[in-house]
A = this chain, B = another copy of it.
Amino acid sequence: MASEKVLAYLDANRQQHVDQLCEFLRIPSISSVSEHNEDTKRAAAFVADELRELGLAVEVHDLGGHPLIFAETEIRPDRKTLLFYGHYDVQPVDPLELWETPPFEPRIEDGIVYARGSSDDKGQVYTHIKALEAYIREGVEVPVNVKFIIEGEEECGGHSIYEFTEKNPEKLSCDAIIVSDTTLYNETTPGICYSLKGLAYMEIRVSGPAMDLHSGSYGGTVQNPGNALAEIVAKLKDSDGRCLVPGFYDDVLDLDQEERDGFAALGYTDEILQKETGVVAPFGEAGYTTLERMWARPTCDVNGLVSGYGGEGAKTVIPAKAMAKVSMRLVPNQDPEKIAKAFQDYVRQIAPDGVEVEVINHHNANPVLVPRKSEMMKAGMAALEKGFGAPPVFIREGGSIPIVGTFQDCLKSPVLLLGYGLATDNIHSPNEKFHLENFWRGARTSAILMAEAAL
């Protein structure tokens, strides 16, 4: 257990930490929009300054994108080392008109702070900084060596942190990597996430006539790219939602009975899904519960369709082109590159006559699986239980955090995914929010983890 002094410091400074977080949230560090490059720099400086004030050795690296921050306390060989990861950049804010208050003017209401980046990921990464601050300001020896790697390109797909990690495994070497960029299981139950899905993001482009044609003048004489695309997309899945790309399921690691039992015990119901999403009914592969499909079965989803006329009323054209964005969420043991290749081969094979079909692989991410039994996992579970006052459950996550796979590969250390957000935090959407209670509990959890990991 962390020193009482440390936890008392966190309790005593709750309001001040919220004020500082709000200052951080006021910086519109949208990494994918170049006109915000100066803001992104300011957010990096905000983080670097705080870490410097705590006495850490801080390095700010320019690898051609947004600044990458590496910082560390004194490294003593007799202490274990924790590497904390996070990102200071945020998603774009459109559609702006759907925000109830401006995205970069934090509003606090009923114990919730509303602002872009509050949950993803400024509010979460900031808990670790405040936890370390508590030790240092109270003059309590930090039980572990602490390293931070905080990037500014998570939301724009930048490569700085990948390059840095691959080139500097010794600098980043550690006993565990702590990533707080996910969620609790629900409002009252903390969770420790032990698996992330991977991704293969594809685009199918169908070309037919050289220009949009009048559907009267040429109907019946040429293949219609819109119809051809629909034929292709329809053949990606069966009526049950099972992906038809050959070999798609070959490498899938099945859930073990303990996992299935664990999921079932969580009591996730289809009513919850319907309430969260507004769908008339759940849908998917037979033989799996909704939670099993969400967390542990690979998927194949249309993300976008565009062809011909999409405006009001009628326009009688045979479109020259048709495009589908399709992404596959992959599960442990599936290889994104192999799947992307199989997808490309399959689409070319099923492409109808009379059109040209191009299949682009936008980007991939490896799935992640962390062993559920390890000393560090135990420390994480203990910290979450003490920090949140409830026993945590094992959860998985359907989303991808690509850097986690790279950390595993390069650093060979266990990853602890300690999420402090909620699924309803509207990340990537208007009115993003973060519960202050979770912010404070998160800081306590991080402080406790520094002690538990040292045991």
- Spell out A's residues near B (CB within 8 Å): 32-34, 91-92, 94-95, 98, 156-157, 183, 197, 199, 201, 208-224, 226-227, 229-237, 239, 241, 273, 276-285, 290, 293-294, 297-319, 322-325, 327, 329, 352-356, 362-363, 397-400, 423, 426-431
Contact = CB atoms under 8 A, between A and B. Distances in A.
A193 to B, nearest CB: 12
Given A279-B208, A299-B215, A322-B305, A428 B98 contact: no
A429 B213 contact: yes
29 contacts: A33-B311, A33-B312, A98-B211, A209-B278, A209-B279, A210-B278, A211-B278, A211-B429, A211-B430, A214-B427, A215-B301, A215-B327, A216-B400, A217-B294, A217-B427, A218-B294, A220-B284, A220-B297, A221-B294, A222-B284, A223-B281, A223-B283, A224-B301, A226-B304, A227-B237, A303-B308, A303-B319, A304-B307, A314-B327
B427 A301 contact: no
B230 A302 contact: yes
A318 B326 CA distance: 10
A271 to B, nearest CB: 13
Given A214-B429, A220-B294, A277-B222, A91 B284 contact: no
Contact of A217 (B156, B222, B325, B423): B423
Contact of A428 (B214, B304, B307): B214
A314 B209 contact: no
Contacts of A215: 299, 301, 303, 327, 329
A325 B329 contact: no
Contacts of A222: 273, 277, 279, 282-284
B294 A323 contact: no
Contacts of A397: 216-217
Contact of A216 (B157, B219, B283, B399): B399
A401 B227 CA distance: 25
Contact of A227 (B221, B302, B354): B302
9 cross-chain pairs, A with B, having the tightest CB-CB distances, nearest first: A210-B278, A216-B399, A226-B302, A234-B234, A230-B233, A283-B354, A219-B299, A220-B293, A223-B283
B211 A355 contact: no
Contact of A303 (B223, B226, B297, B362): B226
Residue from the set A362, A399, A427, A430 with the largest chain B CB neighbour count within 10 Å: A399
Given A211-B278, A230-B233, A325 B309 contact: yes
A74 B211 CA distance: 46
A216 B92 CA distance: 16
Nearest to A328: B219
A304 to B, nearest CB: 4
A214 B299 CA distance: 13
Number of copies: 2
Given A222-B277, A305-B319, 8 more contacts: A32-B311, A211-B431, A215-B303, A219-B329, A220-B285, A221-B284, A314-B362, A317-B429
A325 B318 contact: no
A278 B92 CA distance: 35
A216 B302 CA distance: 12
Contacts of A297: 220
Contacts of A156: 313-314
Residue from the set A231, A303, A355 with the largest chain B CB neighbour count within 10 Å: A303
A269 to B, nearest CB: 12
Contacts of A309: 92, 94, 303-304, 325
A303 B215 CA distance: 8
A399 B301 contact: no
Contacts of A313: 32, 156-157, 362
B354 A301 contact: no
A302 B273 contact: no
A318 B235 CA distance: 18
Nearest to A421: B217
Contacts of A224: 301-302
B314 A201 contact: yes
A282 to B, nearest CB: 6
A199 B316 CA distance: 10
A303 B314 contact: yes
